[in-house]
Amino acid sequence: MTTDIPKELEDVNAAPSCRQDKNGVVERHWQTMVAMAHNWLSSAVLPSTFWFYVIKRAVEVGNYFPTQLENGTFTAPFELVHRAKPYLRVLFKLFGLAAVRREHIQDDKLTKFDSQRLPMIAIGHCLNSNGLLFYNPV
């Protein structure tokens, strides 16, 4: 039985058995993700109800951070897992403002003199489509 493990991942330093909380690398990575999430929430002045979206985004961005391997080369965790360079065009400004077009307000059709835009805040990627999730502050 052959395994298809990349050569870079063969020498993984793991925590002792039954002591996963003693893995310093993972703990430091989690502290970095929490710090990123906290800073994004505080800079956008949004409540902690958006914590899920911010942590999810911090992990996505953290997977694109370059890290140095033992042989001196630089790579990203995304590249190690998927064996492809990360596609950086999927990154967007978290909590960035956007204007979404609308043509109706309930059953009333908007005229050309009515405002057809609705200000929204981008909070993440949609799981069911290739679009973004938006939050309407109103």
For residues 111 and 60, what is the distance between their CA atoms, to the nearest angstrom?
Answer: 41
Whole-number pLDDT of residue 20:
63
Q: Is the pTM of this model over 0.75?
A: no
80-90 pLDDT, tens digit each: 888 888 877 77
Please state, in angstroms and as integers, the Cα–Cα distance from residue 110 to each residue in 33, 116, 117, 133, following that order: 43, 7, 11, 24
For residues 123 and 98, what is the distance between their CA atoms, to the nearest angstrom?
Answer: 11
99-124 pLDDT, tens digit each: 877 777 777 777 777 777 788 888 88
Whole-number pLDDT of residue 3:
56
Regions of the chain where pLDDT drops below 50: 1
Whole-number pLDDT of residue 27:
80
Whole-number pLDDT of residue 11:
61
> Which residue, among 61, 62, 40, has the nearest Cα to 51 in the 3D structure?
40
For residues 22 and 115, what is the distance between their CA atoms, to the nearest angstrom?
Answer: 56
Whole-number pLDDT of residue 15:
64
